[in-house]
Amino acid sequence: MIVLGIDPGYGRCGFGVIESNESAMNGWSHLASGVISTSAETEFSDRLLEIGDDLVSIIRQYKPELLVIEQLFFAKNTTTAMKVAHARGMIVYVAKKEGVRVEDVMPNEVKQALTGYGAADKKQMQEMVKTVFGLSKVPEPDDAADALAIAWTGATRAAYL
């Protein structure tokens, strides 16, 4: 099973691709991770188009069965939250259009699943991603590490369904 995790954003959208692998330490192997970046100088609708086009390429390259995307959890900046919500909606649309099942996870669910502590900090999360996938270093930027954590959370939850 191949799972694509997404840390939604419109400036940087993290992605992480993992694959079930019985011989891997925790049953999952890291295939790819990174970010889809867009320029602040680009019109917002064009930024969404860039993200969508890049996501289609990632989906067609890795052929995931499941896309796991983090739900929004913002309290301060409404404008940013609205733009991330637009990006998130477009990501879900693209995944469904490409025939990929979509699951949501909450940020505290990802922290709980990966570290056993729902209020884990960024450094704890990054170190656990490195450990879970047997990587030599923490994936960079942090959006990519977050996306791998999101993928792993959704993948392990799906394994129990």
46 is catalytic: no
Q: For the chain, count helices (H), then strands (E).
A: 5, 5
7 is catalytic: yes
| Catalytic residue of the set 54, 142, 143, 146 | 143
| Catalytic residue of the set 54, 70, 142, 146 | 70
Strand-by-strand arrangement of the 101-105 sheet: 28-37, 12-20, 2-7, 66-70, 101-105
Whether the CB-CB separation of 65 and 158 falls below 8 Å is answered with no
Helix (H, G, I), strand (E, B) or coil at 31: strand
Alpha-carbon distance of 148 to 106, in angstroms, equals 14
| Catalytic residue of the set 7, 54, 142, 146 | 7
User: Which amino acids are annotated catalytic?
Assistant: 7, 70, 143
